[in-house]
Amino acid sequence: MLKIEREDMLELTRRMTVSRNCFSRIAGAYMDEEGFVDGTFHTHFLKLSGADKTKNLALAKEMLISETNSNLRHYRFSKEGQKPGSFWQLLMALRECELKNDALLYSAYEYIGEAYEADHPYAIYFYFGNYDVPRKGADKAEQWESEEVFRFLICTICPVSGDYEAGKPECGFLFPAFSNRSTDCDGINIYQADLQKPHRELEQIIGVSK
């Protein structure tokens, strides 16, 4: 299994604050216990209220600040997992459209809902972000020049209660993987909050191997 560099994850989270935000769009679905969609939304991230920005940034960062190579692990897509009609292909399309295609989003919600095991209502949140990866000199100090633009999706799956109030993520992923400060479209970083009772079905949905 490839290792995740913790500093790579922390570098991303430093661009996930209200004043220094890398997200441009958020979309989500509220699911019942049987995996059926109860309601959906999508909007520009900057249109959220200050309180909602803070809450959603915390949900997105929860995975990245977790224990790397334990709660958050790097996985590779198999060739079978990248074939036409795969979840990988769907993620690539969602990344390309920046979460602006309702049909693609609904397909993702259904894809997850068919296999995700839960005994309670839950929410699936997708975030789209851009991060200009700054070039680093030999002394590791960041320079002004951008090395590349990391265009990515974060997905969190959270229990919900009351009036669609989302709790902390149970699992989720960062796609593409952010590896050695660069884009890795053949990899994905998957988060499991509870290592004693992980949602292994998420790995099956995505189509990956360690």
Three-class SS state of 13: helix
* CA–CA distance, 111 with 202 (Å, rounded to integer): 10
Please provide the average confidence, as pLDDT, over all residues in the chain. Answer: 92
Domains of the chain, by residue range, sit at 73-133+145-210
Per-residue pLDDT tens over the stretch 92-122? 999 999 999 999 999 999 999 999 999 999 9
pTM: 0.93
Closest CA to 199 of 174, 176, 169: 169
Per-residue pLDDT tens over the stretch 147-200? 789 999 999 999 998 888 999 999 999 999 999 899 999 999 999 999 999 999
Residue 210 has pLDDT above 80, yes or no: no
* CA–CA distance, 75 with 2 (Å, rounded to integer): 7
Residue 138 has pLDDT above 80, yes or no: no
Per-residue pLDDT tens over the stretch 42-94? 999 999 999 999 999 999 999 999 999 999 999 999 888 899 999 999 999 99
Place of tokens 């790397």: 68
Tokens encoding 142: 């960041």
Residue 141 has pLDDT above 60, yes or no: no
170-176 long-range contacts, CB within 8 A, separation 24+: 170/118, 170/122, 170/194, 170/199, 171/198, 171/199, 171/202, 172/63, 173/63, 173/202, 173/206, 174/12, 174/63, 174/64, 175/91, 175/95, 176/95, 176/152
Place of tokens 């049909």: 103
